[in-house]
Structure 1
Amino acid sequence: MGNWIYEVIAQGGYPGIVFLMALENIIPPIPSEVIMGVAGIAVARGHMSFWPVLLWGTVGSTLGNYVLFLAADRLGYERLRPVVDRWGRWLTLEWHDVQIAGRFLQRHGHWVVFLLRFAPMFRTVISIPAGLAHMGHVRFLLFTAMGAAIWNAGLILGGQWLGHTFARAEAWIGWTVIGLGILTILFYIWRMLRWKPRA
């Protein structure tokens, strides 16, 4: 599996990285840790260059987050509430959670968007309350891109280290994908089974 991911990224080149990173933020098929990590291995082996990978990976991350931001910005609280009320169990979310996130964002501003780009569970989700709070588009894009660039740089450097240190680094990435996928599914099932609406 690791070889397959490596080949997809190596053959797809920089446009492939933009596409995968944007998609990962909208419907996470493969975590960004894996995409950028594999790209870092490709950099270590001379198939790609660090700065273009960082640039296009950050563009993809920013675009994917902007799609979620725009959807929430256009939908607004009133039209979102019936969706959350109806599908709360499957979303493992209720309206109270959305309100808390919105108030937190309004109090702490754009720095929350920047800092949560380093939190694996929240870096994509924060785009929704940012859109609901109608945060300025330029400010959102700027702080999203800044946070994503720092995060991606760390992942690429980690992938480079793997590529230089281990001959079969792709196999490590492949097992990482499988492990993360299993953990994500188990965590979701646990959240869904324990979810109870507030009285």
Structure 2
Amino acid sequence: MINQDLREHAINIAVKLRMGENVDCQEHTALIDELVSAGRLWRKTHQVDLKTAQTLASLYPSMYGAAALYEEDKNEVEAAAYKILKTMIHEMSEQYDSEIYNTFLTDYDIRIKTVLDETIVSIKKHQGVSLERLTNEIRLASRYWKKAGFINPYILCKLISVYPFLVHKYVCDTKFTEIFHAESVERLQDHIEIALEAN
């Protein structure tokens, strides 16, 4: 029930933004509360169902994209999106330390984490990077996630962090455009959302 309420609040926020109704403060507050409640469950089970995972993975890109519709309130919308993102990352990652990796991360989770970390380090160093390798790892792992019906919250957290990181680098770092184009960032995000589709 917690995850269903969480999904409903997330969808309502995204839809209202797209319709030009700005950020619904009540929905925003309710979503933050639901994320904190859900985080307790995720910390116990080490699982996020795929339907919820996909909703969460698509929320920040949706809000960030919708912010362009609000000339005067663009910063306010982006701040609301960032607060949700920050809460999601906190609730999905605070439980993990090095020992837990060995216990709860499967082989394919560890592979994705490794490729993702290598990709981000390369981008930070302004080295040539192909997002295709990461996309392929996500495609492979999605078979296991779909079979299980859930994803590890820490891995979901890593995937949710990719789009904000790449978009921020693209906007703020002039060398970033030499590494790859904005379209490849959008394609990667699409693949993440497809990988989290529930059967």
Q: For the superposition of Structure 1 and Structure 2, which TM-score range results when normalised by the shorter chain? A: 0.3 to 0.5
Of structures 1 and 2, the one scoring higher in RCO (CA 8 A, sep 6+) is 1
After TM superposition, the score normalised by the length of structure 2 is 0.38
Which has the larger Rg? 1
After TM superposition, the score normalised by the length of structure 1 is 0.38
